[in-house]
Every structure is written in C-alpha cells, then in structure tokens.
Amino acid sequence: MAQEYGGERTFRLRGQPRRLESLVLVAPDQAREVPVVAEFQSETHKALPLAIAKPIGAGLRLRLKFPRNTPPGSYQGSVRIGTSEFRLVADVDAEPHLDLVPSQLTFTAPPESEATAELTVVNDGNAAFEIRNAHGVGLFAIGGVENALGAAYRESKCGGQERWNLLGDKLAESHGGLLRVQVQEGAGELGPDQMRMLRLHVKFPANLREGYTYTGTFRLRNARCVFRVEVPRKTGEEIR
C-alpha cells in the first residue's frame, strides 16, 4: 500500500510472516536509503530490528520479517524512518509451510506393481494445512529429454514439422505415466507446529519400461519429495 511520507501517520504492511511489504511515498530528495527502525508493542515482536528500506523511484519499499510461525492477525507498532516516527500496522496472512523428510524415496518396482512408504511431514508455518488422501505423481525417464533432443538432431532425413513430430514421439516414450499415491495414514488437517508420519500406498503405472529409471515429484504445498523408480529387467541385468 502506498502511503504519504510526512502526511498520513500510519504505515500498513501486509503479507506472509517472512515478507511483509509496503511502499511509502517520499519527496524526490528523500528517495534514498535512510535508517529504519521498527518496534512492536507485542512482547513477542517488539525487540525485532527487522525493517529494511529500499529506494523505489520517489518512494521507499518497507519490508519486515517476522518468525514463520507468527499467528495471523494485525500487530501494532511504530517505525522510525530517518528522524521521523510513524505508527505501524503489520497484517500477517495465514501461511502453512511444510517440510517432508526424507526429501527422496527410491523404489525398485516392475510395471503395475504396488508398494508402501513412509514420509514425515512438519508444518512450521502459522496456519493449518489439509492433507488430501489421493495424489498423483507424473514420472519421466532420467535422460529422456536429452535422448529425445539427440534423436531429433541426429535424424538428418527429418526437417521442419517431421523433426518436431519425432521429438514429440521420443518425449512420449520417456513419459512413464502417472504414479498414484494413497495416504493410508496421516491424511487430514495438520496444524501449525505439528509433525505427522504419513503412510503411503503407491501404485506404479503399466507403461514403465524395463531397465529404465524414472523420477517424479510428490508435492504438499511448498514441500517436495522426489520419487525415484528403478524398473528391473526380467533378465536380471543392471538397471541403468
């Protein structure tokens, strides 16, 4: 929100706890970096010197960082810009923030098989997050893009649309299909500062190719876990 420096006496910032922002309009000769100090009446936040001012044209962009688990709501305080002091209101939005441990799971699985796995999810944000029961993870062969590009470049007889068609066909061959994930235990609401174990039931697609290794990303909000799927050869040869 743009507000006039020296006129309106209240500056209001809004955003996620780690990124609250506002644009303060100033006179042209004042559009420069100046000392900024923010204090809050809340006992939890009054001692945090976390304000940053950055010149933006004829204004200053104010930024504040609160701890990630700061509860949503409005926080009253004051800010001193140079030698002038103003009332400050920081409106903190709700933001779940998740971590998944481990960050990678490896499966050795033939097509159309099933497996189970466990993940630990932590919510260190300031709002609850609903974990769904069913998820999908797209799989793509390792090196598939490079191999497809190489095949298209090497085919000297192809040109124009034919080369694009060949590239598309090779990319399609490298796509392993959709891996289906069912959360058998741990689905539901995960509150702030909570941790939970997720028991997953995984169904592998039918079009996985023997000897290939595929990867895909399981996502919960901002958190990621890479699924690596190694498809064995029936002959017992090593997986590439």
Band (pLDDT 50/70/90 cuts) for residue 52 is low
Band (pLDDT 50/70/90 cuts) for residue 47 is very low
Are residues 182 and 190 in contact, defined by beta-carbon separation less than 8 angstroms? no
Q: What is the fold of 2-92?
A: Immunoglobulin-like (2.60.40)
> Which residues of the chain does CATH 2.60.40 include?
2-92, 98-230
Residues near 48 by Cβ (< 8 Å), separated by ≥ 6? 38, 40, 65, 66
Q: What is the pLDDT of residues 108-160, one digit of tens each?
A: 999 999 999 999 999 999 999 999 999 999 998 885 454 544 444 455 555 55
- As given in the structure block, the two tokens for residue 8 are 């309106």
Beta bridge partners of 188: 131
* Gap between the Cα atoms of 40 and 87, Å rounded: 10
* Gap between the Cα atoms of 125 and 123, Å rounded: 6
Asked if the 98-230 domain carries CATH number 2.60.40, the reply is yes
Give the helix, strand, coil percentages of the chain, each rounded to 5: 10, 50, 40
